[in-house]
Amino acid sequence: MVQPLAAEIDRDHRFPQEAIEAATESGLMGVLIPREYGGAGLDALAFAICIEELAQACASTAVIVDVHTSVGTEPILLFGDEEQKRRWLPLLASGRLLGAFALSEPASGSDAASLKTTARRGGDGYVLNGTKVFITNIGHAGLYVVFARTGPDERAAGVSAFLVPADTPGLRVGQIFHKMGLHGSPTGELVLEDARVPAANRLGGEGEGFTIAMRALDSGRIGISGQALGIAQAAVDEARALMRERGHGQGDDFSLADMAARVESARLLAYHAAWLCGRGRRFTCEASMSKLHATDTAMQVALDTLQIAGDDGAAAGSPFERHVRDAKALQIYEGSNQVQRVVIARELLLG
């Protein structure tokens, strides 16, 4: 169902509605949500495997489901009060609402603590103003987890998190960004102009937003690892099929062996990080190592398989060139791979 759509949605830059409906029917939108709130109640390892399988079929579909399930939903799961959980989680688990995560801004990407969006106290709630950029699921999401500044502190301590429904007056979709890959996954600007939310939509306390964002990104990186593994495995499988069909020399054989070994090592790292997360153990360092290794692996494997495929691989519309274009963004989002090194070094030296 999902895999046959991959080439077409990439070519047409179209949201894979039928794939998301299939994912919803399979219960994938609520993998991490406990059964009492309508989800499947599975753990981070099951989540990683689900995203890996989806990405093997279609990387765009995997990103949509991943962002919804991890950074779009987990903040409520981990930091929401009981009322917020009862109100939002069943809608997210059933796929009636698609989740999104709005942290990045035009002048604040890697340095997320410098964000400028404000949430000013007004009446019984907050009034949000600012622009978020590169927001996955833009225009299709029913609920955005938005990070905004509530306090005078100019860095992390002044940031709070808010649940902002898509139909909030003052919230609008701005520019849509056309990317080199992941064409089925919509990415764009979220503009907030005097968008008013009740105080009940603040997630956690004032000033806890940065902690919420960082925790969500820790487990989000397990999902990104799953995306990377799926793309890498699909590329290896296609190269293997081509080599069997067309014949192969020892150069190709060695390349295939190196790629397969590299993907398997990335898989074990990702599953280990997910296993630690699922058991409530510290996993920040392992999740960053996994994201770094899995996404670099996906990028390199995509390039190496295209090389094996030769001119057919370079032709527009071939799965080999699509994997190259899809893999690149993974090295950038949810913390670029340079930022993963910063996290790993900090954990090793200070942790």
Ligand X SMILES: Cc1cc2nc3c(=O)[nH]c(=O)nc-3n(C[C@H](O)[C@H](O)[C@H](O)COP(=O)(O)OP(=O)(O)OC[C@H]3O[C@@H](n4cnc5c(N)ncnc54)[C@H](O)[C@@H]3O)c2cc1C
Instruction: Decide: is 332 part of the binding site for ligand X (CB under 6 A).
Output: yes
Active-site residue (options: 52, 74, 105, 334): 334
Q: Can 36 be counted among the known catalytic residues?
A: no
Kindly state whether residue 342 participates in binding ligand X, applying the rule CB under 6 A.
yes
Q: How many residues bind ligand X (CB under 6 A)?
A: 21
Q: Using H for helix, E for strand and C for coil, what is the string for the chain?
A: CCHHHHHHHHHHCCCCHHHHHHHHHCCHHHCCCCHHHCCCCCCHHHHHHHHHHHHHHCHHHHHHHHHHHCCCCHHHHHHCCHHHHHHHHHHHHCCCCCEEEECCECCECCCHHHCCCEEEEECCEEEEEEEEEEEECCCCCCEEEEEEECCCCCCHHHEEEEEEECCCCCEEEEEECCCCCCCCCCEEEEEEEEEEEEHHHEECCCCCHHHHHHHHHHHHHHHHHHHHHHHHHHHHHHHHHHHHHHCCCHHHHHHHHHHHHHHHHHHHHHHHHHHHHHCCCCCHHHHHHHHHHHHHHHHHHHHHHHHHHCHHHHCCCCHHHHHHHHHHHHCCCCCCHHHHHHHHHHHHHHC
Selected range binding ligand X among 47-55, 83-91, 97-105, 237-245, rule: CB under 6 A: 97-105
Minimum CB separation of residue 190 from ligand X in Å reads: 9
Taking the complex as a whole, the smallest distance from the CB of residue 264 to ligand X amounts, in Å, to: 26
Q: How far is the CB of 338 from ligand X (least distance, A)?
A: 3
- Nearer CB in complex with ligand X: 300/307: 300
Per-residue binding letters, 285-324, with ligand X (x by CB under 6 A): ----------------------------------------
Single out the residue of 70, 117, 150, 187 in contact with ligand X (rule: CB under 6 A).
187
Catalytic residue annotation: 334
Residues that bind ligand X (CB under 6 A): 67, 101-104, 109-110, 134-136, 179, 182, 187, 329, 332-334, 336, 338-339, 342
